[in-house]
Structure 1
Amino acid sequence: MTEGAVAALAVLVWLQIKHLFCDFFFQTPRQIEMKGVYGHPAGLSHAAQHAVASIPVFLLMPVSAVVAAAIVVAEFVTHYHVDWIKAVIGDRKGWTVRDKEYWRGLGSDQFLHQMTYLAICALLIWLRS
């Protein structure tokens, strides 16, 4: 396996670990509750935790500070809006953990976050080649 392939896999592993912790261990009840209120500091802080926790990937696949900042900002904006859309739809529909739609929403939310991580990794690979 090439050094680049190892670095790409390491990036994906790091993004998976940080996602697990930011979404399921560090997220506060207030952050969960306020995600559907556009611009609320609790939802913004959750997305910021994700963006900041992604910074170590640039130790694995270095890029310029400008590119790194652009990726971090894009992740923040993407993560925030994916969470906000899921919260708004779930709140409007009144979905709870007992509803299959709740789980479809959660699964779709997580899928979009994972696609964001694949896009970050693909961009880093492309910039490296």
Structure 2
Amino acid sequence: MTEYVGYVLLLLCALQVKHLFADFFLQTPKMLSGRCAYAHMGRAQHAGIHVIGSALVYLLFGAQLAFILVLGVLEWVVHFHIDFGKARFSERKKLHPQQAMFWQAMGSDQALHQLTYIAMAWAWVKYAAA
């Protein structure tokens, strides 16, 4: 494996750890309640936590500030809307953890976030990696 491929895999691992903390350990009650409303300050803050975590990861990987800012805005928009879609779907279907569809919605949400990280890693390779 080339050193370059190793850096990409390390970047993806760092984004995974960031995601674990931002999505499962750092959510507050404000971020978790009332999520089916579009203009939800808690969801906006949650997406912001993801952006801050990603910015720290990309700083560690030597990305330029302009790249981090552009990627941060894009990640915020994408994360906000993925979470809104899941919340709205879950609310409309009145889903709860005892239903298979609840876990299908959760899995779809997480898969979309993971695909976002692959796109972000591609952007780093294309525009920021030295």
| TM-score relative to the length of structure 1 | 0.92
Q: Provide the residue aligned with 1:43 in structure 2.
A: 43
- Of 3-12 and 66-75, deviating more is 3-12
Structure-2 separation of matches of 1:23 and 1:69: 21
Which residue does 1:125 correspond to in 2? Answer: 125
Shift of the alpha carbon at 1:39? 1.8
Mapping for residues 5-84 of structure 1, pairs under 5 Å: 5-84=5-84
Deviates more, 1:6-15 or 1:79-88: 6-15
For residues 121 and 52 of structure 2, the distance between their equivalents in structure 1, rounded to whole angstroms, comes to 16
The answer (yes or no) to whether the contact 1:4–1:125 under 8 Å persists in 2 is no
Q: Give the aligned residue type for 2:115.
A: M
In the alignment, is residue 4 of structure 1 matched against residue 4 of structure 2? yes
* Root mean square deviation, CA, Å: 1.5
Unpaired runs of at least 5, structure 1: none
Q: CA deviation at 1:64?
A: 3.0
Residue 9 of structure 1 aligns to a residue in which SS? helix
The answer to whether the 8 A contact 1:36-1:87 is kept is yes
How far is the alpha carbon of 1:60 from its aligned partner? Answer: 4.3
**Aligned mates of 2:37, 2:80 — CA distance in 1:** 11
User: In the aligned structure 2, how far is the partner of 1:22 from the partner of 1:66?
Assistant: 23
SS of residue matched to 1:36: coil
Return the offset for 1:32.
Answer: 1.5
SS of the equivalent of 2:33 reads helix
For these two proteins, the number of residue pairs brought into alignment is 129
- Secondary structure (helix, strand or coil) at the match of 1:55 reads helix
- Could you tell me how far 1:11 is from its partner in structure 2? 1.0
Q: 1: distance between equivalents of 2:59 and 2:20?
A: 20
> How far apart in 2 are the matches of 1:12 and 1:34?
31
Aligned to 2:114: 114
- Contact kept? 1:8, 1:61, Cα under 8 Å: no
C-alpha displacement at 1:2, in angstroms?
A: 2.7
Q: Report the Cα distance in structure 1 between the residues aligned to 2:5 and 2:57, rounded to whole angstroms.
A: 14
Unaligned runs of 5+ in 2: none
Q: Which residue of 1 aligns with 2:94?
A: 94
Match for 2:44: what amino acid? L
